[in-house]
Amino acid sequence: MADYDAIVVGAGLSGSTAAYCMAKAGLSVLVVERGDAAGTKNVTGGRLYAHSLEKIIPGFADEAPVERKVVRERISMVTDESCFTADFSSSRFQNPASASYTVLRAEFDPWLAGKAEEAGCDVVCPAVADELLRENGKITGIKAGDDELTAEVVLLADGVNSLLAQKAGLKKELSPHHVAVGAKEVVELSSGIINDRFNLNEGEGLAQLFAGSPSRGMVGGGFLYTNKTSLCVGLVVTVAHMAKSPDRLPDMLESFRQSAALKPLLEGGKIIEYSAHLVPEGGIHMIPTLSADNVLVLGDAAGFCLNLGFTVRGMDYAIGSGALAAETVIEAKQKGDFSNAVLCGYQTRLENSFVMQDMRTHKNAPDFIEHTPRMFKEYPELVENIFADMFTVSGPSKLMLKKALPYVRKAGLLNLMLDGFKGSRAL
Amino acid sequence: MKKIAVCYKWVLSDTDIRVDEKTRSLNMEKCKYQVNEYDRNGLECGVQIKKASGRELVGITLGKDTASSAKDALSRGLDSVFYLDDAALADIDKIGAAKALAGMIKKVGDVDVVICSEASSDDFAQQTGPRIAALLGWPSVSYATKVEVNGDSFTLERKLDDGIECVSVAAPLVITISPEVGEAPIPGVKDILGAKKKPANALAIGDTGLSADALKPASAIVSVLAPETSRKRQRMNPDGVSLDQAAAALVKELSQAGIL
Ligand SMILES: Cc1cc2nc3c(=O)[nH]c(=O)nc-3n(C[C@H](O)[C@H](O)[C@H](O)COP(=O)(O)OP(=O)(O)OC[C@H]3O[C@@H](n4cnc5c(N)ncnc54)[C@H](O)[C@@H]3O)c2cc1C
């Protein structure tokens, strides 16, 4: 008999969610996590859309260590000289089912892994799953150091660079076109200063995205999220572009931090943390084989992450896919059949859920973004020029249209229309 | 069966200490507890003695939050743990700690080998082992880098300033080890899982045969501050002088300071 019903590799959001749901249903579950504790190896920008976890643990935000509820959204178009910002706040963001929260993974992941442990899972960290165990070709567990641990099914929740999914033959080596690289810093500031500076009430948060010069015109963008007593600031840039560029990501982050758009917002803050990580952004084009006999792939390992130009979203998909993987394993346990005949139900469940539906909805996004560099350079410049003229008086005035037209021509009216049309169908 | 008692300290890890630049005070809010790194070598030494002599191996600890130390310590080869977790011991000093540990060792019973490490990563006071030996009235062998056991007789090597001393001692004894005694392996998944099934025993101050009063600190820590680092902040290449000039200036500076 196997040591466990299920072994989960990785105590990120996908792994811990799956483990929690399976243990709740009475399955015996082992979670192994490479980091010294859950959350130590994980990087995120900062915003968790609550809907998927809300279904699993209703009202989770009351007990979980979330930072702030996002009630204010900003998008900035930045050039070396100017910054155009749209600011949107709404009481609509208050609804728990559609709310979003800023989170710090070093706090949030241990909480979720703790929930899994409370539900009865064995959670072991630090422990690296080095290999999959096989008997007569069938996956029977994992090898971690000198230890062999067996299970009916192994859930690979080991993140974007899932070596085990590659070893299992479910996934190919990552393509530079399917991943971005992100770097971020946590900047400490008092909650009072954050509230004043970003016009927030206690517990309320802001999310700000930056397009243009932060990514030096490459596909990508900058972000800022407010936590209780810190800010997360960072950059995400596509690896394929980064590789061709002379710029180094840490230097780009440094200039972003020093830029006129960001510097005043960070004034007086102290950098307390730096981290960097890969981001899957190939969407549906990078999704591996999701299930096979005795194995499932979830979260970032399965490529369930969307990059819609300036913003990355993966945490709610990680949670969603974790829950569906758990449902599938629970069914397999009931039927006593962990072969792909039952486990392939995971794919059907995903197809019927927001996870795969979103991947399909945005299937053209990676291609559109990669082939529309104008979004990251020419358009921020266009906005800059129009607004700079609108608010500059140095002689006789001109009509709006006359002011704008030359700049629109420069960016290309046809480009604008086409990109606008294609973009609104892809993003 | 005779027992080996390994004393280990549950200390705050120093990796997340933050220093307030103005006051030089230390902020330990983010620091997590861990088994003192040197004590991990002590635990491994205990495992080796257990293997060689068939003794039972128990871990002993006291102080704040030590109840939560059991799982970690038990994953490092111990058969059981005895901890004394009492808020009254928060400010315990070295004398008090040694007294309480000696009391706990007596309470556990049948112990004839006590292992401590040279020091703990937080205070580095280097006192606990020898103090326990004095309180128990047993021989103390400090700075042990090699331990061999044959029944009740121990042959140990001690690293001293002027060489290595070889000593033979009969149990009971207190050994204070240096990290060189043996590298501590990182617990494997099965070690960590197995730890959950091993006994962790809570002791109370009363079990030490002493009163809370008797353990009151005789000394108090007045302040803990980060060291001051003074730098000359001299730039060798102001206004972008050539590399050669800057190097020459640096060599001159260093020779004048007597460093080169
Ligand atoms: C810079 C950046 C910004 C982002 N911003 C956002 C955002 O604002 N909102 C959002 O929703 N998403 C964002 N994302 C994406 C999001 O962080 C990921 O989609 C999410 O973390 C995926 O969760 P996961 O559990 O699948 O994988 P991970 O969180 O990567 O967890 C995988 C875990 O597996 C462990 N592991 C790996 N290999 C092994 C092994 N062999 N043995 C044991 N353990 C192993 C790792 O240590 C890790 O803990 C961002 C990502 C980055 C990098």
The 10s digit of each residue's pLDDT in A169-224 is 999 998 888 899 999 999 999 999 999 999 999 999 999 999 888 888 888 889 99
Pocket test for ligand 1, best of A34, A128, A274 (most atoms within 8 A of CB): A34
What are the beta bridge partners of residue A183?
Answer: A235, A276
Mean pLDDT value across chain A: 90
- The answer on A35 and A125 residing in a single domain is yes
Q: How far is CA A419 from the centre of its chain?
A: 25
pTM: 0.88
- The answer on A353 and A258 residing in a single domain is no
- Please indicate whether residue A299, judged by its CB atom, sits closer than 6 Å to ligand 1: yes
- Counting the structural domains of chain A, the total is 3
Chain B residues contacting A via beta carbons under 8 Å: 18, 32, 186, 188-190, 192-193, 196
Q: How far is the CA of A305 from the centre of ligand 1 (A)?
A: 10
Q: How far is CA A5 from the centre of its chain?
A: 29
Q: How far apart are CA B128 and CA B91, in angstroms?
A: 15
- The answer on A32 and A160 residing in a single domain is yes
Using DSSP, how many helices (H) and how many strands (E) does chain A show? 17, 19
Average pLDDT score over residue span A255-267 = 92
Judge whether A86 lies within some domain.
no
Residues B125-181 pLDDT 10s: 888 999 999 999 999 999 999 999 999 999 999 999 999 999 999 999 999 999 999
Which of A107, A147, A187, A228 to mutate: most B Cβ within 10 Å? A147
- The answer on A123 and A34 residing in a single domain is yes
Residues B185-231 pLDDT 10s: 999 999 999 999 999 999 999 999 999 999 999 888 899 999 888 88
Give the start-end residues of each E strand in A326-418: none
- The answer on A257 and A192 residing in a single domain is yes
Structure confidence at residue A426 (pLDDT):
66
What are the beta bridge partners of residue A312?
Answer: A307
Q: Which residues of chain A neighbour B189 with C-beta distances below 8 Å?
A: 30, 32, 124, 127, 144-145, 147, 149
Q: List the one residue out of A68, A53, A52 whose CA is nearest residue A102.
A: A68
Structure confidence at residue A93 (pLDDT):
76
Judge whether A69 lies within some domain.
no
pLDDT of A398 over the 70 cut: yes
- Among protein residues, the one with the nearest Cα to ligand 1's atom 6 is A45
Residues A123-175 pLDDT 10s: 999 999 999 999 988 999 999 999 999 999 999 999 999 999 999 999 999 88
Could B189 and A147 be called an inter-chain contact, meaning their C-beta atoms sit closer than 8 Å?
yes
pLDDT of B46 over the 70 cut: yes
Cα dihedral B232, B237, B243, B245 sign? negative
A420: amino acid identity, one letter: G
Average pLDDT score over residue span A316-324 = 97
Which of A228, A248, A280 finishes a domain?
Answer: A280
Q: Which residues of chain B neighbour A126 with C-beta distances below 8 Å?
A: 186
Q: How far apart are CA A136 and CA A203, in angstroms?
A: 55
Domain that holds residue A388: 368-426
- The answer on A208 and A246 residing in a single domain is yes
Which of A314, A329, A361 finishes a domain?
Answer: A361
Give the start-end residues of each E strand in B75-172: 80-84, 111-117, 140-150, 153-160, 163-170
Residue B100: what are its φ and ψ, rounded to 5°? -65, -40
Gyration radius of chain B's alpha carbons: 23
